[in-house]
Amino acid sequence: MIFAVVLFIILLVPVTLKKSGIPVIVGLIFAGIIIGPFGFNLIEKNDTIRLFSEVGLLYIMFLAGLEIEFSEVRKNSLQAISFGLLTFMLPFAGGFAAAHYLFDFEIIASTLIGIMLASNTLIALPAASKLGLGKSRAVMTAISGTILADTLVLVILAFLIALMSGGESDWFILIFIGKLVGFSAVVFYVFPKISRWFFKAIANDGSLQYIYTLTILFISSYGAELIGAEPIIGAFFAGVALNPLIPTNSTLMNRIDFVGNSLFIPFFLLSVGMLVNLKILSEDTEALLYAGILILIAVGGKWLAAWVNRIGFRTTYFEMQTLFGLTTARAAATLAIVIVGVNYNVFGDDIFNATILLILASSLISSSVTERYGKRLLKDEADKLPQRAELESNRFLVPIANPKNIEKLIDLAILLKDQKSRSPIYPLAIVKDDHEVETRLAKHQPILERIAKQSAASDVSVQGITRVDVNIPTAIARASVELGVSDIILGWSGKSSKEISKFFGNMLDMILSNTQTTVIVSHLIHPCNITKEIIILIPQHAELESGYRHWIQLIKQLASQLTASLHLYLASDASVELEQSLKEAFKGHKTKMNRVTKKDSLEDIPLMGEKQMMVVINARKHAISYTPVFYQLTYQLHPSFSESNLLSIYPRQFS
């Protein structure tokens, strides 16, 4: 019955509020007030509610770690650090001063009030992510600032607990820091190694991957609790550790988002509302006074931090308001701090009740402001996009040659596809026109249905196409023109016998000669998500090809999705202009650049393994950037690259 009532509310609230303009987060919190022990008492806040509520909070922090765009954080690291310090110091200073000088509290109680106001919980992050702002500068700054601020809050809380419990605070802090360092080493070094092996071993079982991901989340959360930190820190650390292995455009990420936003996170929001006792408005005037002052300082401090950030880093008004909205809510850490204060007899019921009102008010302000200004920020950023037509032409054609490899090719297309593009991916089944054409068509139907199921789990539009033709390369070329595709993705087994190489070479040569679009030949022997480094071979005069900017965008998208570093190898005779252009294009990504010392030589490339992906920027014969050694890599693997994934990109050209 508990599940029936809660799920009914989770279903009813969005439907009811659809046309009202009230954020769903606000509706769920108010629903929690109504059904909670201080409302109609339909549901008691028992162990079941507490468990799912905590899971929801951990899920929010886990998603925050998974959705960090590390290239954006590196690009705006100064802004993230400065905002984190501001969003901690301003509310802390205001809260400490008010508690000590207005409320006449002792130093420890005043410090607890200060860190309570300095903390925040990203309860509006799911709403921002649903709007498509998960990778925006405002969201990245909010996540980074929240983690820095909450880390400072939790370290100070640990110090205060040591003081209140009468322990040796210096030793306590040193021991705590040592435990935190050891815990971080396990999460950031051991977990990724185990996860990389696991994802490689069961690459095709999405359900087991999801269960494994949740297991890591809860092990990490419990580990944080064991060392004396808050479980939310462990959840966030787990998200950061798995971030490089779970691309944003992937089936697994879609599953994680879906379950969290459908079940666990709404449970958490309902539980926040169930804490609120509206009777204190009439019965406890002192609590109401405390609440008013705390809300004013808490909200004002976060707004002031966002305003100073706007002045210092010249962000837009909508970015400032979205940043303010995201960092205003108090829930998890605030509740933990006030409970610590009550347990140690530092706070009375009046401060506890005032804190509950603070949680309610700040959550409502956070969700409303984020929803309102997030939509305006989204429109503002959309208006600034210079290449909307290019995004709409972000279309991938994936011919089906080997049914066993088609899922890998579709996954690659999903990774390369720009998230803003609404264009579908086109799997192409080509059947030779002969007396067995109907039988062959029937055999391709289950393959297309399997691809459709795969794409549905990834929330990516896929439209299967079937062509009957006597010539496969011609059919591919015609389909690419009819559908207006930007990229053709072909699969290659990597076999290097002369007969297969000759056959494949003839096929590829015909496709290249009959099309002007970008062609990507892929040799994938490992899951792409275990990639840590992308090594790119770039020929002389690459910048003069018409598809130069397009393949750079593909690489940037791939690096962002895989959270992989870039290692560029330029031809020895490549121009300085090309080198400068590449440095500018990949600014914000972790990038190294080298020159191949010997002309047309690959001996400078180190021996590669499963963690590396080789990308060769090729060119059609007679093109200005054509390099015979690079061209040959498509037909016969170099021994150094035999253990790694390989992409050979033939950029777009015009006749």
Q: What is the 3-state secondary structure (H, E, C) of 173-218?
A: HHHHHHHHHHHHHHHHHHHHHHHHHHHHHCCCCHHHHHHHHHHHHH
pLDDT band at 379 (very low <50, low <70, confident <90, very high): confident
With H, G, I as helix, E, B as strand and everything else as coil, classify residue 435: coil
d(CA 220, CA 183): 9
Residue 521: phi and psi, rounded to 5, are -100, 120
DSSP string covering 221-244: HHHHHHTTS-HHHHHHHHHHHHGG
Q: Which CATH number characterizes residue 21's domain? A: 1.20.1530.20
Instruction: Enter the pTM of the model.
Output: 0.69
> Would 235 be classed as within a structural domain?
no
How confident is the model at residue 194, as a pLDDT?
Answer: 92
SS3 535: strand
Sign, CA dihedral 16-18-22-28, equals: positive
User: What is the DSSP pairing of strand 518-523 with strand 645-650?
Assistant: antiparallel
Instruction: Answer yes or no: is pLDDT of 388 > 50.
Output: no
435 and 357 part of one domain? no
* Average pLDDT over every residue of 384-408: 68
Tell the residue number behind the tokens 């935190």, with chain if given: 180
Task: Using a pLDDT cut of 90, give the percent of the chain over it.
Answer: 17
Predicted pLDDT at 169: 52
Tokens of 636: 């016969």
* pLDDT over 50 (residue 47): yes
Query: What value does the mean pLDDT take over residues 76-81?
Result: 80
Pick the range with the lowest mean pLDDT from 94-98, 306-310, 590-594.
590-594
Does 353 share its domain with 430? no
Top-confidence residue, 123 or 35: 35
- Those residues whose C-beta lies under 8 Å from the C-beta of residue 405, and which sit 6 or more positions away, are 491, 493, 524
d(CA 276, CA 26) in angstroms, rounded, equals: 13
Asked if residue 490 lies in contact with residue 477, where contact means CB atoms within 8 angstroms, the answer is no
In this predicted structure, the answer to whether residue 609 has a pLDDT above a threshold of 50 is yes
pLDDT above 70 (res 113): yes
- Whether 259 and 135 map to the same domain: the answer is yes
C-alpha to C-alpha distances, 625 to 31, 32, 87, 150, 634, nearest whole angstrom: 63, 64, 51, 51, 16
Of 345, 380, 415, the domain-final residue: 380
In the listed set 447, 465, 491, which residue is the last one of a domain according to the structure? 491
Please tell me the predicted confidence (pLDDT) of residue 282. Answer: 67
Domain count, the chain: 3
Write out pLDDT tens, residues 527-539. Answer: 888 888 999 988 8
Map tokens 């006792």 to a residue.
Answer: 277
- The band of 441, judged by pLDDT with boundaries at 50, 70 and 90, is low
- Do 610 and 545 fall within a single domain? yes
Mean pLDDT of 460-488: 83
Q: Residue 382: which pLDDT band, with cuts at 50, 70 and 90?
A: low
Residue 639 forms part of a structural domain:
yes
The answer to whether the beta carbons of residues 514 and 473 sit under 8 Å apart is yes
Phi, psi of 338 (to 5 degrees): -65, -35
- Per-residue pLDDT, 118: 92
Q: Mean pLDDT throughout 410-437?
A: 79
Task: Tell me whether residue 168 is in a domain.
Answer: no
CA atoms in the 13 A half-sphere facing the CB of 215: 10
pLDDT at 498 over 50: no
- Per-residue pLDDT, averaged over 212-223, amounts to 94
- In terms of domains, do 360 and 440 share one? no
How many Å apart are CA 539 and CA 176, to the nearest integer?
52
pLDDT of amino acid 386: 46
Pair 120, 33 in one domain: yes
Report pLDDT for 500: 43
The β-bridge partners of 599 are none
Which CATH number does the domain housing residue 594 bear? Answer: 3.40.50
pLDDT (mean) for 410-415: 87
pLDDT over 80 at 616, yes or no: yes
Residue 48: pLDDT over 80 = yes
Each residue of 138-196: pLDDT tens digit?
A: 888 888 888 788 778 877 877 777 677 665 556 766 777 788 889 999 999 999 999 98
Give percent of the chain with pLDDT exceeding 70: 85
- Of 491, 513, 544, the position where a domain reaches its end is 491
Q: 370 with 475, same domain? A: no
Q: Show the domain range for 463.
A: 389-491
pLDDT range class, residue 440, cuts 50, 70, 90: low
Are 142 and 22 part of one and the same domain?
yes
Q: Is position 175 within any domain?
A: no
> Based on the domain organization, do 278 and 252 belong to the same domain?
yes
Most confident of 19-28, 163-172, 546-555: 546-555
Q: Tell whether 130 is covered by a domain.
A: yes
Inside any domain, residue 259:
yes
Average pLDDT over residues 322-351: 83
For residue 332, give every residue at least 6 positions away whose Cβ sits within 8 Å of its Cβ, in sequence order, or none: 57, 121, 230, 232
Q: What are phi and psi of 466, to 5 degrees?
A: -120, 135
Name, of 315-324, 407-416, 471-480, 642-651, the range with top average pLDDT. Answer: 315-324
Residues with Cβ within 8 Å of 197's Cβ and at least 6 positions away in sequence, in order, are none
Both structure tokens of 135 = 């990778």
Residues 354 and 396 grouped into a single domain? no
For residue 105, pLDDT beyond 50: yes
Q: Is residue 127 part of a domain?
A: yes
Which of 198-207, 526-535, 629-638 holds the top average pLDDT? 526-535
- Tell me the chain's radius of gyration from C-alpha atoms: 28
Pair 613, 541 in one domain: yes
Same domain flag for 376 and 402: no
Residue 552, in any domain of the structure: yes
Sequence-distant (≥ 6) Cβ neighbours of residue 516 within 8 angstroms: 652, 653, 654, 655
**CATH code where residue 423 lies:** 3.40.50.620
- pLDDT above 50: residue 544: yes
Least confident residue range of 335-339, 501-505, 510-514, 627-631: 501-505
Locus of tokens 């011919």: 399
Q: Tell me what the pLDDT averaged over the chain comes to.
A: 81
pLDDT of residue 96: 94
pLDDT at 423: 81
In this prediction, residue 503 carries a pLDDT of 46
Which H helix or E strand runs over 647?
A: strand 645-650
